[in-house]
Structure 1
Amino acid sequence: MVQANLGFLARAFLGRPTCTLAPGARLGWRARILNAGESSAHIRIGENSFVGGELFVFAHGGDIEIGSNCYIDVGARIWSGVSIKIGNDVTVGPNVNIFDNHTHPLRAAERHTQIRSIFTIGHPRQVELADRPVTIGDGVQIGAGAIILRGVEIGKNVTVTPGSIVSKSIMPSTDQIIRMM
Structure 2
Amino acid sequence: MFTTLKRDIRAALDRDPAARSTLEVLVCYPGLHALYFHRVAHWFWNGNLKTLGRFIAHVGRFLTGIEIHPGASLGMGLFIDHGIGIVIGETTEIGEGVTIYQGVTLGGTSLEKKKRHPTIGNGVVIGAGATILGPIKVGDNSRIGSGSVVVKEVPPNSLVVGVPGQVIYRDGKRVSQAVDLEMADMPDPAQKAIRCVLERLTELEKEVGTLKKELTSSPAHYAPPSKYHSPRNE
The interval holding the TM-score normalised by the smaller chain is 0.5 to 0.7
Identity of aligned residues (%): 22
Q: How does 1:9-158 map to 2 (within 5 A)?
A: 17=30, 18-19=33-34, 20-21=37-38, 23-24=41-42, 40-52=63-75, 53-58=77-82, 62-80=84-102, 83-88=103-108, 89-100=117-128, 133-155=129-151, 158=152
- Residue by residue over 1:45-96, the C-alpha shift from the partner in whole angstroms, topping out at 9 and shown as x without a partner, is 11321111423242xx73211101111101111122xx11111421000011
Structure 1 contact 25–48 (Cα < 8 Å) conserved: no
Partner residue, 1:167: 161
User: TM-score of the superposition, structure 1-length normalised?
Assistant: 0.55
User: TM-score of the superposition, structure 2-length normalised?
Assistant: 0.44
Three-state SS of the structure 1 residue aligned to 2:126 is: strand
Structure number with greater CO (CA < 8 Å, separation at least 6) is: 1
- Residue by residue over 1:113-172, the C-alpha shift from the partner in whole angstroms, topping out at 9 and shown as x without a partner, is xxxxxxxxxxxxxxxxxxxx21111212100011001010112xx21000110011227x
Distance verdict in 2 for CA 1:72–1:25, change over 3 Å: farther
Three-state SS of the structure 2 residue aligned to 1:160 is: coil
Q: CA RMSD in A?
A: 3.3
Which structure is higher in helix share? 2
Structure 2 contact 132–149 (Cα < 8 Å) conserved: yes
Structure 2 contact 95–121 (Cα < 8 Å) conserved: yes
Size of the aligned set, in residue pairs, is: 123
Partner residue, 1:3: 3
CA distance in 2, matches of 1:96, 1:15: 24
Between Structure 1 and Structure 2, whose CA radius of gyration is higher? 2
